[in-house]
Amino acid sequence: MSSRAGILGYGGRATVGPHPVVFDDTATFEAISGADNLLAAGASVTIVIRSEQLGANVPYPPATVEASRERLFAASFSSRPWSSGRSRRPR
């Protein structure tokens, strides 16, 4: 996608490719939910995480995030902890 509106899905539903990347800069449920929905739609998801693990800022992760982690890692999912995104220009 070449426009911010297309990336954020304004003006209708965003078209999702087969290998979307989710940027998680809050380490809360938003990225987990987004990745979960993309996987349910048949995508192979990579999540880029600024912190050490998925859901690191969610209170008591063993009870609140662990089931989601297990579900994500059992699917076509990969994570890149301690990472950040860079600008990418469309081809």
pTM: 0.72
Backbone angles phi, psi at 22, to 5 degrees: -110, 125
Q: List pLDDT tens digits, range 67-89.
A: 888 889 899 998 888 887 666 66
- Residue ranges per domain, the chain? 17-80
Please check whether residue 40 is in contact with residue 9, taking contact to mean a CB–CB distance below 8 angstroms: no
What's the CA gap between 38 and 51, in Å, rounded?
21
For residue 43, the model assigns a pLDDT of: 92
For residue 46, the model assigns a pLDDT of: 92
The fold for domain 17-80 equals: FAD/NAD(P)-binding domain (3.50.50)
Extract the residue ranges of the chain whose pLDDT is less than 70.
1-12, 85-91
